[in-house]
Structure 1
Amino acid sequence: MKKSLAPIVIILIVISVVFFAIMPSTPQATKKLQEEISEAVADGKTVFLQLSSTGCVTCRKMKPEVEKALAEFENSNRYKIINIDVNSHKAIASHFAITGVPTQVILSGEGKEVFRNMGYMSFDNIKYAMTTATK
């Protein structure tokens, strides 16, 4: 009796998808994020960093709040919002001394950390923190 290869192929596809989903980001991707942060600071923008993890329930609950903030401030010349997966970008997480997620960090236009929160933040709290952190 001939055995079908379909189950083996399906298993290999699933393993490949899981592997690439959890595989750390490349150093080039981390460097690109670091450059994005540096450019925003060089432009004098207030930078809101959302440091999170895909496996974090609270991070997933915060995603719509951060997306609202992105929509609110996307065309702003004063603010920049950047999402960072700490598992994929360990060097950035280490630089900002992230000990738990989600963590939000706001950098002034001079690159100085002016705000930090660990835990859930609503859209209203994000907006308030961004607009008052550098006043």
Structure 2
Amino acid sequence: MPYLICDHCNGYYELKNGESPEDFDLKCECGGRLEYYANKYDYYKKLKENDIDRNNHQEPADKPENSYNGFLDNLDQQSKGLIGIAVLCIIVFAAILVSGSFSSMGSSSYLDIMPADIQAAKAPVLVVLSAPRCPACRKFDSETMTNPDVKSKLSAYSVMRINVDTDPERAKRFNTHVIPTLVLLDANGKEIRRNEGYMNSAELMNFLKI
């Protein structure tokens, strides 16, 4: 499948059948430019070529006058032991920090940016991040969201729309560079799943399954 990929943040959008680059504003939200690739392999090939080109132009590092090879060999056993303990402590501490970061990510909630009426509804929430300038967003609103089955399904959900152009602060919380992006939250505001890009009615119905 063809893609539009940002040359700055690497955010991407997978073009659907019938869509072309001419349908889109080729400027990414981060300020970079969206470039067209027939497939991901072309993108990876370009990245590899750029890496090779950069490596060919790198200046060789100056060799230090004094070499520190064999530094550990000159230490006594007690010093080596202390260094080993210090390194182990650093590794354990880093592991704790990383574990805590992932834990906090997994338990994060979006309740604080949800309107009061949506919080009070105590229902799953479909967050739609979009913008009027986006052709795929307009198609999603006019075709997918108006489908009778979708409308019936969404009667049990709250829908929170975020215009990424007029409400950038709330949009940033969801850390996405593609529109439309749909995020499904549980009643407590915790993320269940997300989808970046256009979805038809059948895809959305499947996405909404809890």
2:135 maps to 1:66: no
Aligned sequence identity (%)? 27
Contact 2:182 2:194 in 1 (8 A): yes
User: Could you give the per-residue CA deviations for residues 68-117 of structure 1, whole angstroms, max 9, x where no partner exists?
Assistant: 3773246x3x3112222110111111111121111000101121111111
Q: Rg bigger for which structure? A: 2
**Segments ≥4 residues shifted beyond 6 Å:** none
Aligned-partner residue type, residue 152 of structure 2? E
Write the letter of the residue equivalent to 2:151: A
Q: Do the aligned residues in 2 keep the contact of 1:107 with 1:115 (CA within 8 Å)?
A: yes
Higher relative contact order (CA 8 A, sep 6+): 1
Separation (CA, whole Å) in 2 of partners of 1:58 and 1:115: 20
Q: What runs of 5+ residues in structure 1 fail to find an aligned partner?
A: 1-33
Instruction: Give the TM-score, by structure 2 length.
Output: 0.41
Q: Any idea what the Cα deviations from partners look like across 1:25-58, whole Å, max 9, x if unmatched?
A: xxxxxxxxx442x542453211001111111111
Higher share of residues assigned helix:
1
Paired residues of 2:130 and 2:164 also in contact (CA < 8 A):
yes
Asked if structure 2 preserves the Cα contact closer than 8 Å seen for 1:52 and 1:84, the reply is yes
Aligned twin of 1:47: 125
Per the TM alignment, residue 60 of structure 1 is displaced from its structure 2 partner at its CA by 1.3
1:12-23 to 2 correspondences below 5 Å: none
* Backbone CA RMSD of aligned residues: 2.1
Structure 2 residue runs of 5 or longer lacking an equivalent are 1-112
1:111 partner amino acid: G
Q: Does 1:91 align with 2:169?
A: yes
| Alpha-carbon contact 1:53-1:87 (below 8 Å) kept | yes
Structure 1 residue matching 2:189: 3-state secondary structure: coil
